[in-house]
A and B are shown apart, each in its own frame.
Chain A
Amino acid sequence: MATPPNVSDAERWEREKFARTPERDAPFSTISGEPIKPLYTERDLPAEPGEAIGLPGEYPYTRGVYPSMYRGRLWTMRQFAGFGTAKETNERFRYLLEHGQTGLSTAFDMPSLMGHDSDHPRSLGEVGREGVAIDTLEDMDTLFSGIPLDEVSVSMTINAPAAIMLAFYVVAAERRGIGPEQLAGTIQTDILKEYIAQKEWCFPVDPAMRLVTDMIEWCAGQMPRWHPISISGYHIREAGSTADQELAFTLKDGLTYVEHAVARGLDVDEFAPRLSFFFNAHIDFFEEIAKYRAARRIWARELRDTFGARDERSLLMRFHTQTAGVSLTAQQPLNNIVRTAIEGLAGVLGGTQSLHTNSFDEALALPTEAAVRTALRTQQIIAEETGVANTIDPLGGSYFVEALTDELERKAYEYFATIDELGGMVEAIKTGYPQREIADAAFQYQLEVESGLRKVVGVNSYTEGDDQDTLLLRIDPEYEVDQVRRVQASRARRDSERATAALERLQQAARDPQENLMPHLLEAARAEATEGEMVQTLQVVFGTYTESPAF
């Protein structure tokens, strides 16, 4: 039987064989700056592989959250979509479902994300441009017209006003005779990463955290099939963080939400099974796979050992993945199909539960139908043609991948310690710590690209070849005119007394930190209060938030 190479074998190999050939001129580090060795051997595996690597569906879940993974069920193909008004997005939803998508994911426009109705002065020119405009319960109903909410899992990417959008969704379903306990899906809700990276807020941090805990608490009791939060690293990465920062800040945010819910009086096992995550799939292939595996291991350990979770489902770091928007180039856009395919593959080899693949035209605009079809087909090709889903965690035991997994885990714990010294994540955010780390990493990466150290094909290398003018999706300004008319008609038509009374009760409830706001938001939704009205009502009590500019 062959014996594994020992230390002196590897050293001999490097000295006598490998060193004979000069290395080519390349950084030999990941996109995050992690130096990579020429070779990994058995010596690079964890000291206790049985414990650290384990088996799928068993603690510490490095190899996957479920015992059967894709042998039992493929990941959900869930393309993020939204533009114009509810009618246009409903059409795009139906197109995607017809083409084989298996879950919905809603992109909202900037005014909706920031808590403004479409006729608010700040909404001018912004309505329907980055996503769908949702001002009212009626809009939410139109958005899901002809879509069975008790059968299709729906994700909604909204954070600061998430509680309001959830209220609209629950009441829209209620009107169709579907109870909240039947609804499957996710609402993003992760407000900490907004202050850190995505920068979409309505309120200051502390009241915003109260709202998140209200949602987690209410959903724990009322919506057993729903994820009240999707703790996200995607946006942190898009803002320019490294992979280890994405991993560390995301998990620390998650642990912070757990702390707050436990402080509220909830038992960890009451709500932790419904927490979910959302990671980026960037272009450095193996680093991403290692990142997801490290995330599963860290989360399982922390929930079991730090929070004392006893229910196995509380330990599972289940996640959605989106391929990296920042990796897409405006130059030679067809190259983006390749990038997205490789990134999507990393998500799959990393064991994601759900995947969005970007369209090739997204460096400059929202995707056309044709482009998003190719993005969806990319997932279908990975699933049906490549064979990668035939076995669970195919890269488990890879010397390189296990070493990278361990290294990312180690770096994450260093960040945890730093953040703890700062007084926890909320305090760290208030002092600007994660924001600065991200800005520094983003600048460092930019320097590397501009010096030519990091090659970006089509941008600073291989720039030959005309860019054929890609036909981009244009947002018709009529959508805004139409939506403004619609929200104003809705306000004129409704029972104003009922709406006003509901908003007053909402405001009173907001003043009492012991009140869970969800029932009051549901009442306001039933009374056809608009999103903007509910946000403004809460702002009377909570205040607003302005970030101190820093670069």
Chain B
Amino acid sequence: MASSTERKIRVVVAKPGLDGHDRGAKIIARALRDAGMEVIYTGLHQTPEQIVETVIQEDADAVGLSILSGAHMTLVPKVMELLHAQGVDDVVVTVGGTIPSDDVQELKTLGIAEVFTPGAPTQQAVEFIREAVRRRHAST
């Protein structure tokens, strides 16, 4: 199997639910692409089912869920549930958006690798994803 240093990291940037705030998602997508990753941006108004299907179809290493509508405690757990149901357990899942600190903890217990809240630099997300994917591949 090709080592992760030869294969570009594939990241799905997704907008779950009815949330239309896409400024951050687009910026993150560009930053990840500029960092040499293969980025698939789902566009707006994705259901958890659509996101999981994209993750599988695109053979993604990581998925970034961008959500600023306050509906994250319904939509993110649903995505995690569907990923597990499909046997997709090795994808690095991160969340970005207006997530109160109380919810960050709970999301992490569900398996979210990291939550990026307002003010987090894009480079922080880029480095985190790169490292997390490297670690996952190293352990397989």
Contacts and interface: CB of A to CB of B under 8 A. Distances in A.
B134 interface: no
A343 B29 CA distance: 30
Interface of A: 110-111, 113-114, 116, 122-126, 129-130, 198-200, 238-240, 326, 329-331, 363-366, 439, 442-443, 446, 449-450, 456, 458-460, 469, 472, 475, 546-551
A357 B23 CA distance: 22
A125 B98 contact: no
A108 B41 CA distance: 27
Interface stretch (B57-65, B84-92, B115-123): B115-123
Nearest to A201: B20
Interface in B6-61: 13, 17-23, 25-27, 29-31, 33, 39, 41-45, 47
A312 to B, nearest CB: 38
Contacts of B27: 442-443, 446
Contacts of A111: 18
Interface of B: 13, 17-23, 25-27, 29-31, 33, 39, 41-45, 47, 69-71, 73-75, 98-101, 117-119, 121-123
Given A199-B22, A549-B41, A551-B41, A364 B73 contact: no
Contacts of B75: 125
Contacts of B26: 439, 442-443, 551
Determine chain A's interface SS by DSSP, over half rule: loop
A166 B42 CA distance: 33
Contact of A551 (B17, B19, B30): B30
Contact of A450 (B41, B69, B123): B123
A469 B12 CA distance: 32
A330 B118 contact: yes
A549 B101 contact: no
B46 to A, nearest CB: 10
A34 B20 CA distance: 29
Nearest to B73: A125
B122 A446 contact: yes
A475 B74 CA distance: 13
Contacts of B17: 110, 122, 125-126
A549 B119 contact: no
B30 A443 contact: yes
Given A122-B47, A551-B33, A551-B41, 5 more contacts: A129-B70, A364-B99, A439-B26, A446-B27, A549-B42
Contacts of B69: 110, 126, 129-130
Nearest to A480: B74
B98 A363 contact: yes
A59 B7 CA distance: 63
A62 to B, nearest CB: 32
A535 to B, nearest CB: 13
A548 B18 contact: no
A329 B98 CA distance: 11
A449 B39 CA distance: 23
A166 B23 CA distance: 30
A366 B69 CA distance: 10
A460 B39 CA distance: 27
